[in-house]
A and B are shown apart, each in its own frame.
Chain A
C-alpha cells in the first residue's frame, strides 16, 4: 500500500515470500538502501535468499507454512504486548472473532509446521511491531501461488492492522507483481469481473455508465463474471469452451501441468494467438496475429505500487506486425462494433473519463520521466503514495475487517515415492517464458538450457549428484532433465526450478491445483523425486539434441511467414501450385 521508493524510508522491511534480487532487482536496490539508512530487515523464506544475507533476522520457514507462521507471529504481537490497541479500537472491526482463531497459534504449537523457534518468532514480532516510524511487509508469489493464497493476504493485512503498521506513510503491505505491467492489465480491466478502474461488471450502475460511453445497449454488456485463465483447461476438456484467444502468453510454458494444457488446447474448435514470437503455445494456434514488441510500441505501464508511467517506442513495427490496440479495434469492427482510435492517447483519455481514480493521470503529466500514482482523482491532484491515510479504509464505515483463518496443509504433500517439495521460483537473467530473451546472446552465454534445479548439498549427496551434472526430475505429471545447482542456500527436502527453461520445464511436473476465489495455481508446492543420470555424456548430448529439435520445430512452424504476402497470394492463384 506504500510506494516502492518509500520502502527506503521505513524503519523495518519484512520480506515474506518475496525474493526481490531475482524477481525485481530494482526493488532489491531499494532494500539495500533502506538497510544503509538504518532499517531493520526481516526475511522469512525457506531459502537463504540474497536479502537474507543483509537481514537483521532471517527466519528459515518450512515450505507451505504461511498461515501457521503468520498466525503465530500475530499471536506473539498480541501476547507480548505490541498490539496497537488504539488503532484496533479506532480503525478495525472483528478483533474478538479474529483473536478466537489467533489465540490458538502459539509459536510452540506450530513450530513443527513453521520450523521457527519460539524465541525467533518473539523477536520478529518485536522487531516488526515496534519499528519506527513505520514497517512494511513486502510479499510476492511466495504468498500468491499457494493453496491458501487469498487467506494469507487477509492474515497479512490483519497483522499490519493489529501492529498499527498501516495507514501512515511508508507502511502497510507492499505486494509485488509477478510480471511487468500485471498491475496495468488489472487497472485496465483485464480481469473477468471488472471494467477498467476496478468497477464491477455485476454492478448495474457501472454497466449503465460503460454502455452509455461506448454507445451500446446495456444488455450487450455481460452482467456476470467471466472465466479465469486457469479455468481454460477444464472448460476445454468438458466442451464448454470452444474458442480461446490467447494474447501475449505462453501457457504451455507458464501454466501448471504442461501436458494437460497441451491436450486442452488441442480440443478447442478455434485457437487464436497474438504474439511476437513462435512459442510452444503459438505452435498449436489456428490463427496467429503478429503483435509488436516492447521496443516497437508506446503506451502506459503501471508498476506494482500503482504508478502510471508512459513509455515510448524505439523503432517502428516491421512487416505485418501491428499494435495490440489496432488489432483489437479491427477485430471489433469486423465483429460488428466499429472501433477506431488514432493513437493510444485517445484510448487513455476515454479510460480516464470512465475511471474516477485515474482521471488526473494525463499524458501531459507523464511526459518525459513524469509519472502518476493512483488514486489521482482530479487534474490538480499530485497522486497518492500511501493508501488508507489516517487508517481510513475502503469499507463503508472506513474500518478494516480483521480476518483470521486456520492453517491447512498444501494440496500434494511429499510421500515416500515423491519425497521432495518442488517449488517454482525466479532466476536472474532471462525473462518470463524466455520467448523474448532465449536468443539473447549475452543472457544465454550466462545461463542456458536445460536450465537448473537448485538443491541442498544433503539431497544431492543422498542421490550421488554433483554440482553441474544432469539429473532427471519426475512427478505424477511428467519427467524432465535439468542441471543440478547445488547450494547450501537451499533448504533440505525441497528443490527449486524456474519456469523459463524449455527442456528442464518445471511445469511438466507441477500440479494444476487452484484456490477457490482467484483460481491462482499452487506453483509453490508439489511433490517430486529426482535422480542422477548415470551416463552423463549421453545426458549432455540428449538435452542438447532436445533443445535443437524444439528450436527446429518452432522455426518450421514460423516459416510460413518467410514468404512475402504478395508472393504467397499470387502463388495461391496459380492452379498447379498448392500453398499450405
Chain B
C-alpha cells in the first residue's frame, strides 16, 4: 500500500481541459514527451479527467516484459524506466483505465560524435505524479474548480469513515 493517485470530482469538472494543458506543459521539456497524461473524458452525464491509478498490483507493470514499468515505493507510484521500453504496448492493453499510452519518437544514432542516422524510440506516457515538481501534480494546482485531489491512504481512510457514518445513519 501507500500508492497515491490523482482523482477527479465529476460534480466540479467543467470540462475545460486546463488540467491537460498544465500536464502537457509540465512535460514539454527536452527528453520528455509533450502530451497530457490525463484525458478529460465526457459522456452524456459525466465529465472528468481520467489518469493512472498507480495500482498496487499494477497490471501494466505485470504485463511489461522488460521492467520498463515498475513499483516505486519511494514516491508511492508506478514509475517508468524509459530506456527499457521496447514499445510492445502490452501495458496499453493491460491498463483497465485507458491511462497508459506509448509514444514513438525519432532520435539520433551516433557513433562517437558522428551522426549515422535516426531510429524510432518508444516511450511509455503515463502519469508520474509530477514527483520532480515542487508543489506536486501540475494538474491539481491548475484546476479552476479545485476538482482534483491527490488521494493517499489518509484520504482513503477519511472517505471510508464518512461512508461508514452515512451507512449507519441509513
Quick one: closest B residue to A54, CB to CB?
Answer: B11
B46 in contact with A53 (CB, 8 Å): yes
Per-residue CB contact flags for chain B residues 2-19 toward chain A (1 = under 8 Å, else 0) read 000000001111111110
In the assembly, what is the distance between CA of A487 and CA of B46, in Å?
12
Q: Which residues of A contact B25 (CB under 8 A)?
A: 442
Question: Do B17 and A441 touch across chains, with their CB atoms under 8 A apart?
Answer: no
Which residues on A sit within 8 Å (CB–CB) of B11?
32, 35, 54
Q: Which residues of A contact B42 (CB under 8 A)?
A: 487, 489
Q: Which of A20-28, A376-384, A405-413 contacts B (4 or more CB under 8 A)?
A: A20-28
Tell me the minimal C-beta distance from B30 to chain A in angstroms.
Answer: 14
Q: Are A50 and B21 in contact (CB under 8 A)?
A: no
Contact of A50 among B34, B36, B47, B144 (CB under 8 A): B47
Which residues on A sit within 8 Å (CB–CB) of B128? none
B16: which A residues are within 8 A, CB to CB?
Answer: 21, 25, 28, 428
- Looking at the complex, which one of A50, A429, A442 makes contact with B28 (CB distance below 8 Å)? A442
Cα separation A32 to B144 with both chains bound (whole Å): 11
Contact A28 B35 (CB under 8 A): no
Contact with A along B40-61 (1 / 0, CB 8 A): 0011111100000000000000
Q: Does A29 contact B (CB under 8 A)?
A: yes
B54 to chain A, nearest CB (A): 24
Which residues of B are found within 8 Å of A51, using beta-carbon distances? 14
Are A53 and B24 in contact, CB atoms less than 8 angstroms apart?
A: no
Dominant secondary structure of chain A at its interface with chain B: helix
Evaluate contact between B47 and A446: CB separation under 8 angstroms: no
Query: How many chain-A residues does the 8 Å CB contact rule pick out?
Result: 24
Quick check: B14 and A25 within 8 Å, CB to CB? yes
The 8 A CB mask of B56-71 against A (1 = contact, 0 = none) is: 0000000000000000
Q: Using Cβ atoms and an 8 Å threshold, which residues of chain B touch A28? A: 14, 16, 145
Interface check A462, CB cutoff 8 A: no
Chain B residues with CB under 8 Å of A443's CB are 21
A21 to B24, Cβ gap below 8 A?
Answer: no
A546 is an interface residue with CB less than 8 A from chain B: no
CB closest residue in chain A, given B35: A445
Contacts of A50 in B (CB 8 A): 13-15, 47
Contact present for B34 and A446 (CB under 8 Å): no
CB distance from A578 to the nearest CB of B (A): 43
Complex: chain B residue closest to A30, CB-CB: B145
Interface contact A25-B28, CB-CB below 8 Å = no
Contact B34 A441 (CB under 8 A): yes
Chain B residue, CB-CB nearest to A428: B16
**Which of A53, A54, A445: most chain B CB closer than 10 A?**
A53
Q: Are A32 and B15 in contact (CB under 8 A)?
A: no
A137 to B160, CA, bound (A): 39
Residues 124-162 of chain B, each 1 if its beta carbon lies under 8 Å from chain A, else 0: 000000000000000000001100000000000000000
Among B10, B14, B24, B46, contact of A445 (Cβ-Cβ < 8 Å)? B24
Q: How many residues of B contact A (CB 8 A)?
A: 25
Q: Please indicate the chain B residues that have their CB under 8 angstroms from the CB of A267 in the complex.
A: none
A293 to chain B, nearest CB (A): 20
A48 within 8 A of B: yes
User: How many angstroms from the CA of A43 to the CA of B11 in the assembled complex?
Assistant: 15
CB distance from A329 to the nearest CB of B (A): 38
Whole-angstrom distance between the alpha carbons of A28 and B14 in the complex? 7
B145 with A29: CB separation less than 8 A: yes
Q: Are A25 and B45 in contact (CB under 8 A)?
A: no
CB distance from B2 to the nearest CB of A (A): 31
A488 CB–B CB distance under 8 Å: yes
- The answer for the CA separation of A32 and B146 in the assembled complex, in Å, is 11
Instruction: Tell me which residues across on chain B come within 8 A of A445, comparing CB atoms.
Output: 24, 34-35
**Given that A53-B46, A446-B20, A487-B42 are known contacts, is A32 also in contact with B28, CB under 8 Å in the complex?**
no
Residues of B within 8 A of A429 (CB): 17, 21
Q: Is the CB of B34 within 8 A of A32?
A: no
- Are A442 and B144 neighbours in the complex by a CB distance under 8 Å? no
Tell me the smallest distance from the CB of A278 to a CB of chain B, in Å: 25
Contact of B14 among A32, A441, A489 (CB under 8 A): A32
- Given A428-B15, A445-B34, A446-B24, A25:B144 Cβ within 8 A: yes
A residues in contact with B28, CB < 8 Å: 441-442
Please determine whether A488 and B18 come into contact, CB atoms closer than 8 angstroms: no
- Given A25-B144, A29-B14, A428-B16, A442-B44 contact (CB < 8 Å): no
**CA distance in complex: A54, B11 (Å):** 7
Q: Is the CB of B144 within 8 A of A446?
A: no
Within the complex, what minimum Cβ distance (angstroms) separates A21 from chain B? 4
The chain B residue sitting closest to A25, CB to CB, is B16
Are A32 and B145 in touch, CB under 8 angstroms? yes
Which residue numbers of B lie inside 8 Å of A, CB to CB?
10-18, 20-21, 24-25, 28, 34-36, 42-47, 144-145
Further pairs besides A48-B44, A429-B21: 6, Cβ < 8 Å: A21-B14, A25-B14, A29-B145, A50-B14, A428-B16, A489-B42
Q: What are 23 contact pairs spanning A and B, CB under 8 A? A: A21-B14, A25-B14, A28-B16, A29-B14, A35-B11, A48-B44, A50-B15, A50-B47, A53-B10, A428-B16, A429-B17, A429-B21, A441-B28, A442-B21, A442-B25, A442-B34, A443-B21, A445-B24, A445-B35, A446-B17, A446-B20, A446-B24, A446-B36
- Please name the 9 residue pairs, one residue from A and one from B, whose CB atoms are nearest each other, closest first: A21-B14, A28-B14, A25-B16, A50-B15, A428-B16, A488-B44, A442-B21, A29-B145, A442-B25
